[in-house]
Chains A and B, each alone.
Chain A
Amino acid sequence: MINLLRYLKNFKFSIGVSLLLIAIRALAELYLPTLSADMVNIGIVNRDIEYILHVGSWMLIITAAGIAAFILAGYLSSKATAGFARILREEVFSRVESFSLQEFDRFGTASLINRTTNDITQVQNFLVFALRMIVMVPILGAGCIVLAFSRDAILALVFVVVTPVILAVIFFFMRQGLPLFKIMQEKLDRLNLIVREGLTGIRVIRAFNRDSYEKQRFERANFEYAATGLRVNRLMEAMTPLITLIMNLSIIAIVWFGGIRIDLGFTNVGDLMAFIQYAMQVLYSFIAISRMFLIIPRATASAARINEVLNTKPQILDGPAEKQPQDQKTRGHVEFKDVTFRYPEAKRPVLRNISFRAGPGEVTAIIGSTGSGKSTLVHLMLRLYDVDSGSILIDGVDVREMPQKSLREKISFVPQKTILFSGTILDNICYGREDAGSEEVLRAAEIAQAMEFISEMKDGFSSPVAQGGKNLSGGQRQRLAIARALLKKADIYIFDDSFSALDYATEARLRRALAQEMAGATLFIISQRINTVKNADRIIVLDKGRIAGIGTHEELMASCDIYREIVVSQLSEEETA
């Protein structure tokens, strides 16, 4: 947790001031019993009412000063803690945004969400408490002990005995609590995961009538979370009574020994009374400390989880900025040189020795059986993963040697799985370029054949899109994703099986429009339909991660068995047509 506190450095000033103010107030608080002891020892013993009033008004003034200091301190420290949480959230979020898919999958979405919100809240809760207590309590505690010593050093030896005992108790509870809290946050992740899955898979769950199964899954997770919470609560709740008891017993000891010392004439009743008040004050300090230690374990567990994110350096790092190709005319060149790639946990490489070139104005189609590595190939081009060997050159520069931002600026991508965001149709189309003009938006929508349905919607471009585009049909979603990619001006366009949900007529129109509008761009089209790939300048046939053939339709028909098989599998369809 300590190393998270570095994010407090922006607030050094306000925290410093607020700690100072709290110290002032702690001192004021300390001074009160001293004054009241004077009241007894001098005022009452001398029957001096004027003195009593004099001391009384001092007490009032000190009280007022104390509160003013404390409120100001509260203002400063609230801003500092909330600011700390804000920075930390931002830090975690930006770090996660910099993750490549690899790091992302390692944590899992649900856990990352929790780490960005819930875990930070836990640390913030701790900090709020800590700032309020960290100065107040030691000052009060230490101050009281010092004062107590000055009143009666021998009697104060009680504290010397009690303090280590209490520290040991606190240490014990910390040790016990920490692992439990860690488990608890993990259970919360699990809960989050299950609910999230329940939300994304709602249709399937209902369709398979597996509500009860899901409920059981949820119940288990919920139960485990609650049970862990209960265990840890019951454990930690024992700390405060235990410490209170220890302190109360030590007060008894003080009174007992105090009595003996009064009897022996070493002290007087007024001092003993003040002493008891100090002892009470110390008691409250210790209880306050123990309350702080109640939240430390959970905050520590959360802090560790946050640190895990912050300490994960994305493996894919930006290349130097200078290495950008200057020549404007030769943009859109892609070259794979003997690329081999293996997913981290996989036994075998998914892609082996892939080499090919593509240039502007060309259409490169990729075809191949399910799982042959087509999507992986284009993901590599976007540098969502890094190749194991070989290299990928865009415009003559290795993708690892340019900033990711400029790489991805060159490429426009329609992923196989359509992802839309909640907002409006317009928001979604303009996702890649918020500054696009209305002409361009319309054009992109037209090429993507999206106009026909957008214009039929009641609110046109401002029609709402639910998260993931749930309120649109599959084909509509896909076309929005295409429009989104088209609006983003790029040299290279990648369509990963992006016409699969379109009917043939729509696809035909879309491809015709694409051919006209994108004449100068480098196009990659992954498809299962022979008709879609047939007229490409280059067809890459992937099979089990290797290039089984590369060439035009005619060339492949002559040379590539696999390609011929694919064609035959679709021929039957044509014949009956």
Chain B
Amino acid sequence: MSKEGRQSAIKAMPVRLGGRIMLSAPGKKAKNFKGTIMRLLQYLRPHSFSLLIVFALAVCGTVFSILGPKILGRATTLFFNGMMDRLRGVPDAGIDFELVGKIMLLLTGIYILSEAFNYLGQFIMAGVVQKIVYTMREEVYQKLTRLPLKFFDTYTHGEILSRVTNDMDLIGSTLGQSLTHLISSIVTVAGVMAMMLIISPAMTLIALLTLPLWYLITTKITRYSQKMFVDQQRELGELNSHIEEAYGGHIIVKSFGNEEKVIQRFKEINERLYDAGWRALFISGIIMPLINFVNNMGYVLVCIVGAVFVIQGRIAIGDMQAFIQYSRNFKEPIIQFANVANIIQATIAAAERVFELLDEEEEKADSPHALTLFAPRGEVKFENVTFGYSADATLIKNMNIAVKAGQTVAIVGPTGAGKTTLVNLLMRFYEISGGRITIDGIDIREIKRGTLRGIFGMVLQDTWLFQGTIRDNIAYGKEGATDEEIRRAAAAARADHFIRTLPGGYDTVLNEEASNISQGQKQLLTIARAILADPAILILDEATSNVDTRTELLIQKAMADLMKGRTSFVIAHRLSTIKDADMILVMNEGEVVEKGTNAELLALNGFYAALHKSRFAVEEAI
């Protein structure tokens, strides 16, 4: 059955179905170029002093390089006059080599200075650009730390990564070019124009006749290239996101033999990227020849008019030569100007994507009076808490829980009941929409997030370890932990033994996906990490789900010590883990349906008792 066929067939089924929702950042149209430019300029402001120097250097450098041809022209005029005089038979006529020599020396000095200034300008500029890009990257990263988790539920990693690498890279490589060329071309245009005016206003006018054409070409083309660049960066982001997922899920792709399908999808996006890519290339490549064409037309006109003027004796031949050289020189900055206009399009297309990320709505800022130091006893209360992941679907309604300091609370319930959600709320990963959660009577919203999260130590359902040594991974729970502490934590988590059998022991480097240790071993490491953190409140969310039961028993003993006198939340399906809890919260569909101790709840013979019985039902299954 075709995909569409199935889609529609499934739609006809009693299951409620809606439209497909795009998750990755939707490809927004280029909207606000002016705004983006203004914003980019903001980044230049702190460097205005450096930029001023760059500007001054560019002016000097350019003035010198503009003076060059004029002075060179004088030498030519000297030659010409000398020869003419000789032809006319003036006695002692010839070229005044002393004067020519002086001119040459002067020129040498000027050229050296001009290039020195040029380089100095580039040197400073490179520093400015790197700083700006560094700052922007930094800002993007900082931003990521301030975004709510909700945001990360909607953007794919590849999309975000593309903004940090591909887009920022484009900005980095084009911003410098844009700025230096912009400055130097402005100066050159002005300077060259001045020189041409000095030599011959009339000829300048002719050279300038081509200006409107330049303007027309540049604006027309950049308008078109805008779209191309935006498309290109967007497709690149999408491709990156596809690649990231495919590489991240390599094992699934392989074991489902789905390589070809993944490659097919890759080809589709790649095709679109190609389409946007060649257009962008073509457009940016076409600017130069077009401008060149217009310029060559100007050049021809200048030649013709210049030749006529020389014949009529209105200008010297050396001046004509200089003028021709200028009008050629004139072309360079104009081409650069057009190029800059074009490159800026690319810069902006990329910057816009970065700004888009920077403009995402952040987590509510901590209130200025929020507590920064807080050593709670560990009394936790949920009062009328209401929450839903999306505004239109409430998951938790009017929840009330009171946990006394030092209690061990077990949370049980069928999958999807909202157990992990409860933890998410406690840690303030998501904002509740009603009621309040307090610790020692203080609303968690009045505690700085960092401080709040420092209170908890948690082991999550998904293990997360980073590329680095096992030692560093365990020490993640506590800054400046000693080797002995790390080892003791590992021993309590029953990880010490396996770590020591690894080739590098504690210095074994986990690879990027931490796939060089087993899943259960990963869990042991995350437990060790939490033990080392020695938090005021402990949260274990199915911390040992992949650990074998013999090891689990041993860990439980270690944990029992750790949990003594410490408020702890334990989520587990294996009931052995929870039967000794001071309080068991039984959750179903976002509500606490029962609470009490193991014995009380069994006596109640309700939901918990049924859950309990289901353990035995398992035995009949296979």
A501 interface hit (Cβ, 8 Å): yes
Q: Is the CB of A438 within 8 A of B1?
A: yes
Q: Which residues of A contact B251 (CB under 8 A)?
A: 101, 384, 415, 419
Q: Which residues of A contact B321 (CB under 8 A)?
A: 273, 276
Residue in chain A with minimal CB distance to B295: A63
A43, B621: Cα distance in complex, Å? 105
Interface membership of chain B positions 523-557, coded 1 if the CB is closer than 8 angstroms to chain A and 0 otherwise: 11010010001000000001001111111110000
Q: Is the CB of B156 within 8 A of A504?
A: no
| Interface stretch (choices B31-39, B373-381, B611-619) | B611-619
Q: Is the CB of B278 within 8 A of A74?
A: no
Q: Of B131, B271, B307, which contacts A39 at CB under 8 A?
A: B307
Q: Is the CB of B282 within 8 A of A74?
A: yes
Q: Is the CB of B476 within 8 A of A207?
A: no
Q: Is the CB of A503 within 8 A of B503?
A: no
Q: Which residues of B contact A89 (CB under 8 A)?
A: 239, 266, 270, 273
A476, B414: Cα distance in complex, Å? 10
Q: Which residues of A contact B1 (CB under 8 A)?
A: 435-438
Q: Of A192, A211, A453, which contacts B165 at CB under 8 A?
A: A192
Q: Is the CB of A259 within 8 A of B97?
A: yes
Give min CB distance, B582 to chain A, whole Å: 16
- Among B462-511, those with CB < 8 Å from A are 462, 464, 466-467, 476-477, 479, 498, 503, 511
Q: Of B3, B21, B95, B552, which contacts A262 at CB under 8 A?
A: B95
A501, B461: Cα distance in complex, Å? 8
Q: Is the CB of B277 within 8 A of A241?
A: no
Interface membership of chain B positions 3-40, coded 1 if the CB is closer than 8 angstroms to chain A and 0 otherwise: 10011011001011111110110000000000000000
Q: Which residues of A contact B576 (CB under 8 A)?
A: 570, 572-573, 576
Q: Is the CB of B278 within 8 A of A79?
A: yes
A268, B388: Cα distance in complex, Å? 89
Interface membership of chain A positions 374-393, coded 1 if the CB is closer than 8 angstroms to chain B and 0 otherwise: 11100000101000000000
**Given known A-B contacts A242-B115, A435-B2, A459-B16, A113 and B243 have beta carbons under 8 A apart:** yes
Residue in chain A with minimal CB distance to B255: A413
Residue in chain A with minimal CB distance to B124: A234
**Given known A-B contacts A117-B162, A255-B72, A454-B15, A207 and B460 have beta carbons under 8 A apart:** yes
Q: Which residues of B contact A86 (CB under 8 A)?
A: 270-271, 273-274, 277
**Given known A-B contacts A67-B293, A375-B518, A419 and B248 have beta carbons under 8 A apart:** yes
Q: Of B152, B289, B297, which contacts A470 at CB under 8 A?
A: B152
Q: Which residues of B contact A431 (CB under 8 A)?
A: 252, 256, 258
Interface membership of chain A positions 427-446, coded 1 if the CB is closer than 8 angstroms to chain B and 0 otherwise: 00011101111100110000
Q: Is the CB of A207 within 8 A of B427?
A: yes
**Given known A-B contacts A117-B166, A203-B460, A476-B416, A411 and B255 have beta carbons under 8 A apart:** yes
- Which of B285, B477, B622 is most buried by chain A, counting CB atoms within 10 A of its CB? B622
A321 interface hit (Cβ, 8 Å): no
Residue in chain A with minimal CB distance to B299: A32
Q: Is the CB of A202 within 8 A of B427?
A: no
Q: Is the CB of A67 within 8 A of B289?
A: yes
Q: Which residues of B contact A211 (CB under 8 A)?
A: 145, 450
**Given known A-B contacts A195-B160, A249-B108, A460-B17, A219 and B138 have beta carbons under 8 A apart:** yes
A168 interface hit (Cβ, 8 Å): no
Q: Of A203, A422, A577, which contacts B24 at CB under 8 A?
A: A422
Q: Which residues of B contact A565 (CB under 8 A)?
A: 550
B446 interface hit (Cβ, 8 Å): no
Give min CB distance, B514 to chain A, whole Å: 10
- Among A488-544, those with CB < 8 Å from B are 488, 497, 500-509, 511-512, 514-515, 528-532, 534-536
Q: Is the CB of A209 within 8 A of B17?
A: no
Give min CB distance, B575 to chain A, whole Å: 6
A442, B489: Cα distance in complex, Å? 47
Q: Which residues of A contact B72 (CB under 8 A)?
A: 251-252, 255, 276
Give min CB distance, A132 to chain B, whole Å: 7
Dominant SS at the A interface? helix
Count chain B residues whose beta carbon lies closer than 8 angstroms to a beta carbon of A. Answer: 203
Q: Is the CB of B282 within 8 A of A269?
A: no
A82, B492: Cα distance in complex, Å? 57
Q: Which residues of B contact A458 (CB under 8 A)?
A: 16, 18, 392-393
A320 interface hit (Cβ, 8 Å): no
Residue in chain A with minimal CB distance to B495: A370
Q: Which residues of B contact A422 (CB under 8 A)?
A: 23-24, 156, 241, 245
| Interface stretch (choices A46-54, A145-153, A170-178, A325-333) | A46-54
Q: Of A96, A465, A528, which contacts B546 at CB under 8 A?
A: A528
Q: Which residues of B contact A226 (CB under 8 A)?
A: 130-131, 133-134, 137
Q: Which residues of A contact B523 (CB under 8 A)?
A: 370
Q: Of A71, A241, A501, which contacts B545 at CB under 8 A?
A: A501
Q: Of B297, B579, B611, which contacts A63 at CB under 8 A?
A: B297
A242, B115: Cα distance in complex, Å? 7
Q: Is the CB of A432 within 8 A of B256?
A: yes
Q: Is the CB of A370 within 8 A of B547?
A: yes
Q: Of A256, A343, A460, A462, which contacts B100 at CB under 8 A?
A: A256
B94 interface hit (Cβ, 8 Å): yes
A12, B576: Cα distance in complex, Å? 71
- Among A462-484, those with CB < 8 Å from B are 462-468, 470-476, 478-479, 484
Q: Is the CB of A461 within 8 A of B10?
A: yes
Q: Which residues of A contact B165 (CB under 8 A)?
A: 114, 117-118, 188, 191-192, 195
**Given known A-B contacts A437-B9, A505-B617, A206 and B453 have beta carbons under 8 A apart:** yes
B364 interface hit (Cβ, 8 Å): no
| Interface stretch (choices B75-83, B189-197, B201-209, B402-410) | B75-83
Q: Is the CB of A576 within 8 A of B153?
A: no
B149 interface hit (Cβ, 8 Å): yes
Residue in chain A with minimal CB distance to B290: A67
A52, B312: Cα distance in complex, Å? 13
B519 interface hit (Cβ, 8 Å): yes
**Given known A-B contacts A44-B307, A199-B161, A438-B10, A93 and B266 have beta carbons under 8 A apart:** yes
Q: Which residues of A contact B466 (CB under 8 A)?
A: 197, 201
B596 interface hit (Cβ, 8 Å): no
Residue in chain B with minimal CB distance to A255: B75
Q: Is the CB of A132 within 8 A of B285?
A: yes
A424 interface hit (Cβ, 8 Å): yes
- Which of A128, A204, A244, A565 is most buried by chain B, counting CB atoms within 10 A of its CB? A204
Q: Which residues of A contact B304 (CB under 8 A)?
A: 39, 52-53, 56
A-B complex: 10 closest residue pairs judged by Cβ atoms: A475-B415, A370-B520, A573-B576, A82-B278, A459-B18, A505-B614, A438-B9, A67-B293, A78-B282, A511-B621
Other 20 A-B pairs with CB < 8 A, given A49-B308, A113-B158, A207-B427: A25-B289, A39-B303, A47-B311, A67-B292, A82-B281, A85-B277, A118-B166, A209-B453, A226-B131, A234-B123, A269-B79, A424-B20, A430-B6, A458-B16, A471-B153, A474-B415, A503-B413, A506-B414, A528-B548, A534-B622
A-B contact list, 7 entries, CB within 8 Å: A40-B320, A117-B240, A233-B126, A248-B68, A371-B520, A423-B23, A435-B6
